[in-house]
Chain A
Amino acid sequence: MSEIKEYIYDSASKFLKKQSTQALLEKGQMGLFDDELWASVNDMGLTGVNISEAYGGVGGDYEDGFTVIKLVGQYPIPLPLTETLISKWILSQYGIKITHDQPLSFYFNEQNPLEVREHNGNYILNGEALNVPWGRVAKEIVALAKCQNQWIMVLVPVNESKIHEKVNLAGEPRDSLFFHGVNIEDSAIKIIKDCESKKKVEQLYALAKAAMLTGISERVVQECLFYASERKQFGRNLFRFQAVQQHISFLVGETAACLAAVNNAVEMLQGGNDALSIMLTKIKVSAVAGDIAMTAHQLHGAIGMTYEHTLHHLTKRLWSWRDEGGNERYWQGELSTYIEKNSGTIWSLLVDNHSVRSIL
């Protein structure tokens, strides 16, 4: 662990653990945004990890960034921390510096990009950005758009849009933003030169969701172990029953496998060799999230089905996040494309050191 990573880990985990209370999660379920908490998260530097000081960040690398993101899974807080981090990572790569502390989000969808037209030296934006995480509280979104047959990245002010509000099962905003004739500054537009960069946000989001799912699975394991040692039936603690032991070992085994996947993928991302490992990770983690949720509920019995209990705040996120950043079906398609286009054997692709990065 780098020094900064250790520091971030310690302070962030203490902080998030303290903040992620039942009351906060209930506010989150109502779709509410906590300004004060956002300010504290900013003050701690959590929105600046893996961003150099020149861009207003606190430094660090992808491993540090994903450490924070995984913690947001373990101790969920209803704030767009992941989304803001990913947006800033992309913006700084394109040389755009953000000078405010407001949340950011993104919309990178190749199938349905936004559209920018040039008219007498002005840039006009149109289109709809669907399912934007935390769209309603973001000040700007980083979006993929097409401009005269060219792919561009554009920083779009959200207050210029009409917002159609939607939430996921955990109450986290997933809004659709409609843009009609919005004027965009030149400086907010960057041309995307290679195909690979078009995929970058998608990949980062997929890995972030996998890290968050894994973090929350660790938390679920903890809740289950606690309950199985606490609750007695037939004069014995639940964990004494073989059927319950099978649930526990499933939860623990799958969570360990997900953790190993995420950690390796993050390290490979840092090393610049990311495409395959991210796909494999998101597929693995998304595919097992539902079973983790169901097993945890089964182990908890009726008490876990109540609003007062924490468990549903965790499982609703498992049930939602597995579909965000591309579900396993989507990434399986991408994986097949990748395997078809690469001439190496599966084994070689899996284990050799490669410099191939492109998902194409």
Chain B
Amino acid sequence: MVKLEVPTVQFTSDQQSFRNEVRAFLREEIQSGHFTPACDSWLSGESPTFSKKLGDKGWIGMTWPRSYGGSEKSAIERYILTEELLVAGAPVAAHWFADRQTGPLLLKYGTENQKKTFLPQITKGECFFAIGLSEPNAGSDLAAIKTRAVRTDGGWLLNGSKIWSSGAHIAHYMVVLCRTSPQNEENRHDGMSQLMVDLHVNGVTIRPITFLTGAHHFNEVFFENVFVPDEHVVGQVGNGWKQGMAELAYERSGPERILSTYPLFSMVIEELKRINDRDGLTEMLSLLPELWSIRNLSIGVAKYLDEGKDVSFIASLVKDRGTTFETKVAETVRLVLSKHPELFNSKSIDELYTQSILHGPGFTLRGGTTEILRGIIAKGVVSQ
């Protein structure tokens, strides 16, 4: 029998009090008008001020060692924090990638100096990172990247471009996956490295790409003879592909693959309760068991990650199932509310619905498309 079980997780009373503390903080922030709950807020809700507040509370990089600015909390506490933030639709996009990906990457592969320099700034909410993987001709086929760095005195000269870089316009650094030796058709994954590129140095140009909503979330980033010092190479030169793939496990299994449309889900349920629409409520609640079961998987994976286990194909599976749930929310809301068009006049439901519909296609594309993930899942389970 293939092994598909992930650990179960029950929360201690300390963890519950932590959850309550996070909730109270978020309620206060909403009530004092510091943010308006939004769907997909981890992509589109950029607020350096809010990130700074979380930093002050010790809620960025909270699992990291104290010596690097962290609070040495468990992965489960971080999970609680993350899901409460998303459920509240809080503007967490600015620090998201640094907290989720860059920090763990540096902890695993970074030099002592890099950890001492970057991690404390990240935890304070003062240093944001963007993810530099995709290129115009390298989307699903990431190994086709062309951006390259050549050796120079004391570092590397970087040339090329990245595309779809979420939040690069507010980020301080980007972790760029690039070629440090020519492409080898025998092994396409050879010769890649990860460089931390300061986005404010000479030779970096950031051009906004307007999202279909008209908003500015992602960018095209050009590198023209950008000097990257040796101190900013992450891990081993030539080992970029492997390091990058390890990051993806964090990227693919978190609550943000389940909860992007949660603010809409919960607001509609509250409305249906208020107007006593029992049928509508039943229909919306048919999604609840899905949410519950996918969340169980996702927490289980979080625990595995914490124990340093290899979770690659299960992480992909969480993303596939989770994003399916995220899209179903808006579709179900649409039919349930069609009986009550006046509820759509409530500005917030209307806005959350629109966000969910228009951002929806991105859920099953970013971080590896569903088609690619399904390949990984099938291959992963067969090879087990």
Q: Which residues of A contact B (CB under 8 A)?
A: 29, 130-131, 169, 232-235, 241, 243-244, 290, 293-294, 297-298, 301-302, 304-309, 312, 315-316, 319, 323, 327-330
Cα distance A329–B332 when bound, in Å?
11
Nearest chain A residue, comparing its CB with the CB of B359: A305
Q: Within 8 Å CB of B209, what residues of A?
A: 306, 308
Since A234-B140, A294-B327 are in contact, a sample of 15 more A-B pairs with Cβ atoms closer than 8 Å, ordered by chain A residue number, is: A233-B141, A235-B141, A243-B374, A298-B365, A298-B369, A298-B371, A301-B140, A301-B365, A302-B139, A302-B163, A302-B218, A302-B362, A302-B365, A305-B361, A329-B339
In the complex, what distance in Å separates the CA atom of A244 from the CA atom of B211? 24
Query: Closest approach, in angstroms, between the C-beta of B21 and any C-beta of chain A?
Result: 36
Inter-chain contact A298/B361, CB cutoff 8 Å: yes
How far does the alpha carbon of A316 sit from the alpha carbon of B214 in the complex, in Å? 13
Chosen A-B contacts, 9 in total, with CB atoms closer than 8 Å, are A233-B139, A290-B331, A298-B365, A301-B140, A306-B211, A307-B214, A327-B334, A327-B335, A328-B335
Which A residues lie within 8 Å of B139 (CB)?
233, 301-302
CB distance from B360 to the nearest CB of A (A): 7
What are the residues of chain B within 8 A of A169 when measuring CB–CB? 354, 357-358
Q: Is the CB of A305 within 8 A of B335?
A: no
A330 touches B365 (CB 8 A): no
Q: How far is the CA of A173 from the CA of B235 in the complex (A)?
A: 55
The total of Cβ contacts below 8 Å across the A-B interface reads: 79
A234: which B residues are within 8 A, CB to CB?
140-141, 144
Nearest-neighbor residue (CB-CB) of B339 within chain A: A329
Interface residues of B (CB under 8 A from A): 134, 137, 139-141, 144, 163-164, 209-214, 218, 327, 331, 334-335, 338-339, 341, 354, 357-358, 360-362, 364-366, 369-371, 374
Q: Which residues of B contact A309 (CB under 8 A)?
A: 212
Given A234-B140, A323-B338, A327-B335, A304–B361 Cβ distance below 8 Å?
A: yes
Contacts of B140 in A (CB 8 A): 233-234, 301
Q: Is the CB of A294 within 8 A of B361?
A: yes
Q: Is the CB of A308 within 8 A of B334?
A: no
Cβ contacts under 8 Å, A29 to chain B: 214
Known: A323-B338, A329-B339. A305 touches B360 (CB 8 A): no
- Establish whether residues B357 and A305, one from each chain, have CB atoms under 8 Å apart when the complex forms: no
How near does chain A come to B201, taking the closest CB pair, in angstroms?
A: 26
Task: State A328–B218 Cα separation when bound (angstroms).
Answer: 35
Contacts of A323 in B (CB 8 A): 334, 338
In Å, the complex CA distance between A241 and B370 comes to 13
Residues in chain B near residue A316, CB distance under 8 A: 212, 358
Name which residue of chain A comes closest to B374, CB basis.
A243
User: Across the interface, do A241 and B371 meet the contact criterion of CB distance under 8 Å?
Assistant: yes
CA A232 to CA B136, docked complex, whole Å = 11
Q: Which 9 A-B pairs have the closest CB atoms?
A: A297-B361, A307-B210, A312-B212, A243-B371, A233-B141, A234-B141, A302-B164, A329-B335, A329-B338
Q: For residue B361, which residues in chain A have a CB less than 8 angstroms away from its CB?
A: 293-294, 297-298, 304-305, 315
**Are A294's CB and B360's CB within 8 A?**
yes
- Alpha-carbon distance between A145 and B54 when the two chains are bound, in angstroms: 57
Chain B positions within 8 Å of A302 at CB level: 134, 139, 163-164, 218, 362, 365-366
B47 nearest CB across to chain A (Å): 22
Q: Give the docked Cα–Cα distance between A235 and B183 (Å).
A: 14
CB nearest neighbor in A for B371: A243
- B370 adjacent to A298 (CB under 8 Å): yes
Given A233-B141, A298-B364, does the pair A306, B210 have CB atoms closer than 8 Å?
yes
Give Cα A291 to B252, complex, Å: 24
Chain A residues with Cβ below 8 Å from B360 are 294
Least CB distance from A303 to B in Å reads 9
Q: Is the CB of B338 within 8 A of A306?
A: no
* Nearest neighbor of B350 in chain A, beta-carbon distance: A166
Q: What A residues does B334 contact at CB under 8 A?
A: 290, 323, 327
A190 to B215, CA, bound (A): 48
On chain A, the residues within 8 Å of B144 by CB distance are: 233-234
A residues near B354, Cβ cutoff 8 Å:
169
Task: Check A305/B362 contact, CB under 8 A, given A233-B141, A234-B141, A312-B212.
Answer: yes
Residues on B with C-beta less than 8 A from A308 are 209-210
Please measure, in the bound complex, the distance between the C-alpha atom of A234 and the C-alpha atom of B375, giving whole angstroms: 14
A275 and B164 CA atoms in complex are apart in Å by 48
Residues of B within 8 A of A329 (CB): 335, 338-339
Q: Shortest distance in angstroms between B185's beta carbon and chain A's nearest beta carbon?
A: 10
A residues near B331, Cβ cutoff 8 Å: 290
Q: How far is the CA of A304 from the CA of B371 in the complex (A)?
A: 16
Q: How far is the CB of B343 from chain A (nearest CB, A)?
A: 14
Residues in B with CB closer than 8 Å to A305 are 211-212, 361-362, 365
Distance (whole angstroms) from the CB of B340 to the closest CB of chain A: 11
Query: Which residues from chain B contact A235 at a C-beta distance below 8 Å?
Result: 141
Find out whether the CB atom of A306 lies under 8 angstroms from the CB atom of B364. Answer: no
Residues on the A chain within 8 Å of B211, using CB: 305-307
- For B357, list chain A residues within 8 Å (CB): 169, 319
Question: Shortest Cβ distance from B67 into chain A, in angstroms?
Answer: 39
Query: In the complex, which residue of chain B has the Cβ closest to the Cβ of A327?
Result: B338
Nearest residue, chain A, Cβ from B218: A302
Give the distance to chain A from B29, nearest Cβ to Cβ, in Å: 29
Task: List B contacts of A330 (CB < 8 A).
Answer: 338
Task: Pick from B341, B364, B365 the residue with the most CB of A within 10 Å.
Answer: B365
Question: For residue B362, which residues in chain A have a CB less than 8 angstroms away from its CB?
Answer: 302, 305
In the assembled complex, the Cα of A129 lies from the Cα of B335 at a distance in Å of: 22
Q: Which residue of B lies closest to A244 (CB)?
A: B371
Residues of A within 8 A of B218 (CB): 302
B212, B339, B374: most-surrounded residue (chain A CB, <10 A): B212
B114 to chain A, nearest CB (A): 30
Give chain B residues whose Cβ lies under 8 Å from the Cβ of A312. 212
